[in-house]
Structure 1
Amino acid sequence: MPPVPGYLKKIREVCERHDVLLLLDEVMAGMGRTVPVYAYLEDGVVPDLVAIGKGLAAGYQPIAAALMSAAVHDAMAQGTGVLGNGQTHVNHPFACGVALEVQRTIEDDDLLDAVVVRGHRLRARLKERFENVEIVGDVRDRGLFVGVEFVDDRDSKAPYSGGATFAAWLKREALQHGLLIYPGAGAADGVEGNHVLFAPPFISSACEIDEMAECFEDIVRACMGER
């Protein structure tokens, strides 16, 4: 669920008022997944620290990073001068090389433009497919980060009941259809509420996007019969 307009700006103001650092997790949403390189840019804020990961090397090599503002960097430099973290493969040159090449490819091939086009197409296709499926309450997106929310009632938006069972059915049925989905449960109160996240590759073709939506409709309809 993306934040409502103005929410992160208000949080930024509260942090500045009380001299608190704003830390944002963009491991999934960052590196162009929502179109801007960093999702927070859509909300008009800049954090003091931001974590990035998955999209950094596009899955070709495990790598993550923490970016910091000049103020945070200077505070550490003037203190111990050491960032208190580390692991066996920290600053791994091969991983860094892969990540750099991925980012060059995204820029050289204008893949963020593709994220806009494919994201709009995926949302449109899902909305078309589920227009008359009552348990689908919403399809929302930012770029190629698309969520499908399941409800018991479209008017009240009452979350789909049954706990994690429905999400488990969806995942099992999807695998049998050759589709990888990211189901979630308990989003409403820790127990109720089901949703599915789509985050296809930036290089997905129009035909592949259409196939995802068509296949997912078959999956949902099959699982509705199991409830």
Structure 2
Amino acid sequence: MSASSEPCPGMSSAVLHRDTHFLPKKAVGGKGTYIFLEDGTKFLDSTGGAAVSCLGHGHEGVTQAIKDQIDKLSYCHSAFFGTPVTEELARFLTDSTGRKLSKLFVVSSGSEAVEAALKLARQYFLELPSPQPQRTRFIARLPSYHGTTLGALSVGGHVLRREPFEPILANNTSHISPCYAYRGKKEGESDIHYVGRLAAELDAEFQRVGPDTVCAFIAEPVVGAALGCVPAVPGYFPAMKAVCEKYGALFILDEIMSGMGRCGTLHAWEQEGVVPDIQTIGKGLGGGYAPVSGILIGDSIVQTMDKGTGVFRHGQTYQGHPISCAAALATQKAIKEESLLENVRNMGAYLEQKLRLQLGDHPYVGDIRGKGLFWGVEFVKDKLTKEPFDPSARLSFHIQEKGLEPGYSLSLYGCTGTVDGIQGDHVVLAPPYNISREEIDLIVDGFSRVLKDVFAELDL
């Protein structure tokens, strides 16, 4: 067989990996902030995967809780039975909202949670004493990311992720501008005027599509993969919720990536002065110890459903899975008992300080933004004009891949489409909530070395 006809590396695996031309190294262990690879590499997991591993790896309390649950009961179908651990998790989480969100629905992934939230929003309007069946639409933002399943992808506004599937996506979602101060605010514009302009845009979109046709507006409190940890300016979310209330639509906050402590409070909306009607949660909910996500549901929706049919016409085989609920409950208890929200705030401030000190003057760093232990760095070709790099340069890909090399052994979550869904590059950092100052030093120093070498190699 000639060299040109040899199978690509990925063909030696029976797994359909994310890229069939690439066979990833195998992870064989993990402890704390580190993952151990088959070749002996000690890999610093500075992103927690995709902002998932909030307790790091090998947390003994969580792994023991999972083992204990397996010994009791691994699975039962929610159509037949409930379980004590699911009830305890639901009580813990609804209590954390002051019972403003009074029910929990547990599934396995973020995309599933968004699908459930969309369906619940639609059904709510059918359950009202005077049903509103004409409400079939959603309003979201560009760019945004809410999941990969068809419904979640339809409400998302990430151009590249949507592109191959546009012909089969639902066309009942429209998109408005994000709250993206670095690029969205006009020169000299105050936060108040910027918020007013964005609220007016949402109001105009309600009017354009028909105010009584919209089920809900959905947004991320801190935009994750699509924009790179962009928080809203003060007053934005109260203004957007006010527009929703004006037209009787629901207000959905997608906290799958930014919630469950990632931004320094258990729920990101606690810092925004609003309470959503529906909240999606995931990632930090179970810290990656088991697949788990869910939706927290406002009491007015719960009461409406209860007085109506009382049946949410949506269900999944692994809904409320006992092992997933045990993992989530143990993770949340660890966050509370180990005072990790305080550590997120303290170490988050230190991470910001280190990033600004070492990268703030970098010629190709346009913006550093985030909250808690959720930080993004956006790269630009020209700091004055904010011109992004050409997508053909694949800058964020090169940064991510360079970090994976043995000389760095550092996870850097690189993403594209920052500016308009196609152009723009950023990197996300999301270390575990129990990170130390010394490990943050290693992360930022390693990140700096990666950038120095990547830009040298690209000859920019």
TM-score with structure 1 setting the length: 0.95
Counterpart position of 1:118: 347
The question of whether the paired residues in 2 share the 8 Å contact of 1:120 and 1:143 is answered with: yes
Q: Which moved more, 1:72-81 or 1:10-19?
A: 72-81
How many residues are treated as equivalent by the alignment?
Answer: 227
Q: How many angstroms apart in 1 are the aligned matches of 2:336 and 2:429?
A: 23
Q: Does 1:97 align with 2:326?
A: yes
Q: How many angstroms apart in 2 are the aligned matches of 1:70 and 1:190?
A: 36
The counterpart of 2:440, out of the listed 188, 205, 209, is 209
Q: How does 1:169-188 map to 2 (within 5 A)?
A: 169-176=398-405, 177-188=408-419
Question: Quick one: which amino acid aligns to residue 240 of structure 2?
Answer: I
Q: Does 1:137 align with 2:401?
A: no
**What's the CA shift for 1:57?**
1.0
Counterpart position of 1:71: 300
Counterpart position of 1:49: 278
The counterpart of 1:83, out of the listed 312, 320, 327, is 312
Counterpart position of 1:31: 260
SS in 1 for 2:391: coil
Q: How many angstroms apart in 1 are the aligned matches of 2:290 and 2:393?
A: 31
Q: How many angstroms apart in 2 are the aligned matches of 1:212 and 1:159?
A: 25
Structure with more contact order per residue of length (Cα contacts < 8 Å, sep ≥ 6)? 2
- Per-residue CA deviations over 1:157-206 (Å, capped at 9, x if unaligned) read 23333356111101110111211121111110122111111110011111
**What's the CA shift for 1:10?**
0.9
Does the C-alpha gap of structure 1 residues 196 and 5 become closer, same or farther in structure 2, counting only changes over 3 Å? same
Q: Does 1:16 align with 2:218?
A: no
Q: Which moved more, 1:4-13 or 1:154-163?
A: 154-163
Q: How many angstroms apart in 2 are the aligned matches of 1:12 and 1:121?
A: 32
Identity %: 38
- Per-residue CA deviations over 1:18-37 (Å, capped at 9, x if unaligned) read 00000110001101100111
Question: Quick one: which amino acid aligns to residue 122 of structure 1?
Answer: L
The question of whether the paired residues in 2 share the 8 Å contact of 1:25 and 1:50 is answered with: yes
User: Gapped runs of 5+ residues in structure 2?
Assistant: 1-229
Q: Does 1:165 align with 2:165?
A: no
**What's the CA shift for 1:80?**
2.1
Counterpart position of 1:60: 289
Question: Quick one: which amino acid aligns to residue 132 of structure 1?
Answer: D
Does the C-alpha gap of structure 1 residues 183 and 96 become closer, same or farther in structure 2, counting only changes over 3 Å? same
Q: How many angstroms apart in 1 are the aligned matches of 2:372 and 2:247?
A: 33
User: Gapped runs of 5+ residues in structure 1?
Assistant: none
Structure whose CA Rg is larger? 2
Q: How many angstroms apart in 1 are the aligned matches of 2:268 and 2:393?
A: 29
Question: Quick one: which amino acid aligns to residue 261 of structure 2?
Answer: G
Q: Which moved more, 1:124-133 or 1:10-19?
A: 124-133
Q: How many angstroms apart in 2 are the aligned matches of 1:95 and 1:186?
A: 33
Q: How many angstroms apart in 2 are the aligned matches of 1:222 and 1:85?
A: 50
TM-score with structure 2 setting the length: 0.48
* CA RMSD, Structure 1 to Structure 2 (Å): 1.3
The counterpart of 1:198, out of the listed 429, 449, 456, is 429
Question: Quick one: which amino acid aligns to residue 420 of structure 2?
Answer: D
SS in 1 for 2:330: helix
**What's the CA shift for 1:120?**
1.0
Q: How many angstroms apart in 1 are the aligned matches of 2:371 and 2:393?
A: 25
